[in-house]
Every structure is written in C-alpha cells, then in structure tokens.
C-alpha cells in the first residue's frame, strides 16, 4: 500500500472540504434538523461531496463511510468521513469546527486527517509515524495527576436519555481537576489531547466518523485511548476515553458509576 499517496490524497480531501466550510461560514441560507438538536447544513453536504469526489478520483475501488451519505462500497480499504464536526458551532458562527477523515484497512485506522480551517490547524497521523500539527511533531502533555489536569468532554445529541450519569461524570470531573471544557467537536477534542492542550477527554454515544481520525492522532502523539471499562478502543465502540496516559487510570476510576 502506498501510504505516501494516502497522505497526499487525504490531505487534499481535507483541504477541499475545509475550503467549502470557509466559504459557507457566516453565510448559511438554511439549517435543517436531523433531530431535536442534531443539525445539518448545506456546508456539511457540499463538503462531504467534495471530499468523496477527491478520494474517489484517486481510489475508485475504496469504500466510504460518511456521516451524511452513509456507506458506499464494500472494500476492506475504507475512508471514514465527517465533513463538518461541530455543525452546531458552525451554525452559530463559532469557529470551533473541523473536517475529519480517516483511512482504515479492515477497521484498523492507518491514517487520520483533521483540519480546523478557520484556525488554520491541520493535524495528521499515519500509523507508526507519529502525529503532526501543521507539519511539526506533537506529543501529549506530561501532566502527572488528575488533580493537575484540564479535561474536555462532550454531550451527545441524545443527552436527555442519559442525563443523570452524564451530569454525575461531569460533576466528578469538575471537582477532581483544574477544570472541564466542552468544545462541541470530538475530533478537535482528541487532537487537543494529542498536542497537550488537554490532558484527557471522554464522551459517550459517538459514531466512527467522530473519533476515527482523532483517535489515531492522539495515539501517535503518545496518548492512551480506551472505552470506559479500560478495554481497547475500536471504531465500533460508542464511547471513548483518551488521555496523556499518566492520568488514564485515575480518569477511568472517576468515570465509574
């Protein structure tokens, strides 16, 4: 497999999607609801179309799993796409959003690309090659304890169905750490763990396109990623805990209910 070609095309696809997001930011004509608070815009749809077109031109035999258009093809080589992670932020003109693209072989993530176009930050990782931010190597923080850490979490669209445990974990995090933030874009949360801005992240009820690329970026930056039980993370899981490693066991204990 030509991973250099994967990197080139994945990067081009992320920037093509990001260009469309920049064009639409602050200029949305309509916002549609997929659920009570789950939004989709013309920017999501156009970005996804541009990303898929870029990938298929170079890899017509590869499969696609995309947030808006679903599954295309059945190859073991698959691209996992979130064309706009942070749609609610985007719809409210908050510039915390990104394009997230992962390349997987038989569900093993081999490359990840996360572009925050308005902040001009591009995170990339290839399995075994480390993680980069705008071309420079990044690594997780050295924060040694949960008490010294800054965490980030997310609230799923169906948060009303798990509200008590959601708030219990959030409250525990506030009491045990320097603080807990909620940015609204899981791919960015994972990349911010990767570059040391946060020491740990957890969230429930996620989809593969939310976490696949960011998971590899965090892992290649030296992070540890599991599910709440401590079992290894996989893209089929709907929950995730990602940390700098040093605070991981402490955070898992805090999340136990």
120 is in an annotated binding site: no
The set of residues, in sequence order, having a beta carbon less than 8 Å from that of 55 and lying 6+ positions away, is 9, 10, 13, 62, 64, 79
Q: How far apart are CA 116 and CA 84, in angstroms?
A: 10
- Of 128, 89, 95, 91, give the one whose Cα is nearest residue 109: 128
67 is in an annotated binding site: yes
- In this structure, what token pair is assigned to residue 168? 């219990």
Q: How far apart are CA 155 and CA 162, in angstroms?
A: 10
Q: How far apart are CA 249 and CA 34, in angstroms?
A: 36
107 is in an annotated binding site: no
Q: Are strands 150-153 and 179-181 parallel, antiparallel or unpaired?
A: parallel
- Indicate the helix (H) or strand (E) that contains 255: helix 248-255
151 is in an annotated binding site: no
Q: How far apart are CA 175 and CA 23, in angstroms?
A: 41
* End-to-end Cα separation, the chain, in angstroms: 44
210 is in an annotated binding site: yes
- In this structure, what token pair is assigned to residue 145? 């304890």
Task: Could you list the residues known to form a binding site for Mg(2+), using ranges.
Answer: 67, 82, 84-85, 210
Task: Could you list the residues known to form a binding site, using ranges.
Answer: 67, 82, 84-85, 210
């Amino acid at each position: 497999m030509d991973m250099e070609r994967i990197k080139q095309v994945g990067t081009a696809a992320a920037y093509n999607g990001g260009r469309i997001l920049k064009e639409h930011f602050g200029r949305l004509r309509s916002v549609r609801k997929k659920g009570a608070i789950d939004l989709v815009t013309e920017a999501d749809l156009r970005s996804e179309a541009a990303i898929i077109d870029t990938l298929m031109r170079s890899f017509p035999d590869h499969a696609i799993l995309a947030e808006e258009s679903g599954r295309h093809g059945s190859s073991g080589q698959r691209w996992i796409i979130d064309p706009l992670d942070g749609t609610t932020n985007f719809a409210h003109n908050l510039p915390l959003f990104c394009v997230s693209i992962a390349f997987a072989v038989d569900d093993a993530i081999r490359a990840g690309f996360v572009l925050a176009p308005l902040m001009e930050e591009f995170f990339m990782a290839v399995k075994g090659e480390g993680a980069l931010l705008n071309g420079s190597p990044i690594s997780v923080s050295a924060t040694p304890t949960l008490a010294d850490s800054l965490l980030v979490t997310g609230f799923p669209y169906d948060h009303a169905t798990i509200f008590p445990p959601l708030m219990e974990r959030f409250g525990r995090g506030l009491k045990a750490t320097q603080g807990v933030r909620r940015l609204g874009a899981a791919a960015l949360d994972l990349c911010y763990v990767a570059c040391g801005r946060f020491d740990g992240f957890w969230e429930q009820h996620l989809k593969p396109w939310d976490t696949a690329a960011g998971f590899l970026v965090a892992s290649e930056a030296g992070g540890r990623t599991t599910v709440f039980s401590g079992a290894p993370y996989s893209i089929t899981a709907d929950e995730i805990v990602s940390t700098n490693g040093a605070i991981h066991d402490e955070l898992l204990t805090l999340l136990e209910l």
